[in-house]
Amino acid sequence: MTVLFRADASVDIGTGHVVRCLTLANRLAQAGMAVTFACRSLPGDMNHWIAEQGFGLLAWEDDNPAALPASLIQYLQQRRPDWLVVDHYQLDAAWEGSLRDSVGKILVIDDLANRHHDCDLLLDQNYFARPEDRYQGLIPSTTRCLLGPMYALLRPEFAAIRSELLATGRRQQAALKRIQVCFGGSDPTGETQKVLGALAELQLPDCDLDVIVGASNPARAAIEARCQNQPGWHFHCQTPHMARLMAQADLAIGAGGTTTWERLCLGLPAIVIAVADNQRQISQEVADAGAQLYLGTSGTVSPEQIAQSVLTFARNPALLKPYSDNGLRLVDGGGTHRILGILEGYLERYNEEQPLSS
C-alpha cells in the first residue's frame, strides 16, 4: 500500500499540518505501507525533518500551492498511490478532483469547513457541539466523515503515557509545581516571549517551567538565552519528548492548534490563546466543554491577564482538576489507530471492486 501526503509548513503557515500528517505517516509505515510527502520548499518548512524520518520527499519551490511540479506528476504516473492524503487550507475540490484518476482514494484533513472537497474520507478531529452540520453541502454524499477528537491524530506514546497517568493518579496534584509553555512550531505572533515576561513578573519560586519551541521559531535564540538566566526554566527545541513533558506538567500555556488534543489526552489543564483565526471557535468550544481556559486571541490577551490566570491556579490548584477530568473524557488517544483500520478497510474493498487484468 502506498500513501502520498500533500502538506506544507512554514513560518507563516505553521507546522501543525505536517506534524499531524507525520503522526499518521509513522503509524502507516509501521504497518508496512510506503509513504511519500509532497511539500513546497518554504522558509521555516519541515522538509528536512520529513527526510530525516526516512520518508520519501518531493519538494519544490512555488508560490502557488496548487502547482503540480514535474516530480509530483512523474511520481503519480509511476506509482499511482493507493491513498492521497491532503492537509492544506489552500487546496479544495478542484485540486483534489484533478488527481482523481491518478490515485486510488482521497483522504482530506480539514478544520475550517469553508470550501468544497472531492474526497472519499474527510477527517476533522476538532471538537464542536454539532460536528455533523459543518460539512453539509461541501462534500459528495458518498464521503464518509470522521469527526471529533475520537479521531485525533496522536502519536502512540500519548495513549501509553495516558494509561500511566490514570494508573498512578498523577493528575491529582495538590500544588502547581510545573508549567509548560508551548505555542507550536513557529509562534508567528511571539506569544512565548509575552508569556515568559508575565511569568518572570510573577516569580513563582516553587514552580519549574518547560519552554518548548520549534526549530522554525525565529526568536528561539532569544528565548533560549532568557531561559538560561532564570532558575528553574528549561528550554526545549523541537523535542521528541512532548508527551513525557506534558505528563510532568500541572498546567500548560499554549495555542489552540494541534497540541490541544495532546493536552486533553493527557488531562493537562491549559490556558489557551488563539494565534490564528481557525483556532478561535475550536478554542472556545473546548473551553465551553470545561476542558481548558480560553483567554482570547493573541492580539487581545495581555501579559497581565496571563499572569492573573496563572496566579489563580497557583493559589487554588484544586481548580485544575475539572479541566483535567473533562479533557480526559474528550480525547482517549486511539484516533490514529482507528484511522489506520479505516484506511485498510477501504483499500480492501477498493481492490475487490477492481477488474482483474487480462
Torsion of CA 249, 255, 257, 258, to 10 degrees: -20
What is the per-residue pLDDT for 132?
82
Ranges of CATH 3.40.50.11190 domains, the chain: 2-153+334-353
Q: Do β-strands 83-87 and 105-109 pair in parallel, antiparallel, or remain unpaired?
A: parallel
The 3-state DSSP class for residue 105 equals: strand
- b/e for 27-61, b at 16 or more Cβ within 10 A? bbeeeebebbbbbbebebbbbebbeeeebbbbbee
What are the residues facing 2 on neighbouring strands? Answer: 34
Residue 81 CA to residue 107 CA, distance in Å, equals: 12
Residue 192 CA to residue 255 CA, distance in Å, equals: 10
What secondary structure letter does DSSP report for 355? P
The 3-state DSSP class for residue 266 equals: coil
On the 0-12 / 13-18 / 19+ scale of CB atoms within 10 A, 351 is exposed
Q: Which residues of the chain have pLDDT under 50?
A: 356-358
Task: Supply 121's cell numbers.
Answer: 474520507
Compute how many other C-beta atoms are within 10 angstroms of the C-beta atom of residue 9: 27
What is the per-residue pLDDT for 79?
94
Ranges of CATH 3.40.50.2000 domains, the chain: 156-330
Domain covering 2-153+334-353 in this structure, CATH number: 3.40.50.11190
Residue length of the chain: 358
Task: Supply 190's cell numbers.
Answer: 511571539
Residue 130 CA to residue 292 CA, distance in Å, equals: 19
310 within 8 A of 278, measured Cβ to Cβ: no
What is the per-residue pLDDT for 90?
97
Strands (E) in 232-326, as ranges, are 233-237, 251-255, 270-274, 293-297
177 within 8 A of 207, measured Cβ to Cβ: yes
Nearest Cα to 129, choosing from 3, 287, 273? 287
8 within 8 A of 40, measured Cβ to Cβ: yes
What is the per-residue pLDDT for 349?
67
Task: Supply 98's cell numbers.
Answer: 484533478
In CATH, 156-330 is 3.30.1330.60: no
Query: Which residue shows C-alpha cell 509511476?
Result: 78
Residue 152 CA to residue 327 CA, distance in Å, equals: 13
On the 0-12 / 13-18 / 19+ scale of CB atoms within 10 A, 285 is middle
Cβ contacts of residue 26 below 8 Å, gap of 6+?
A: 53, 155
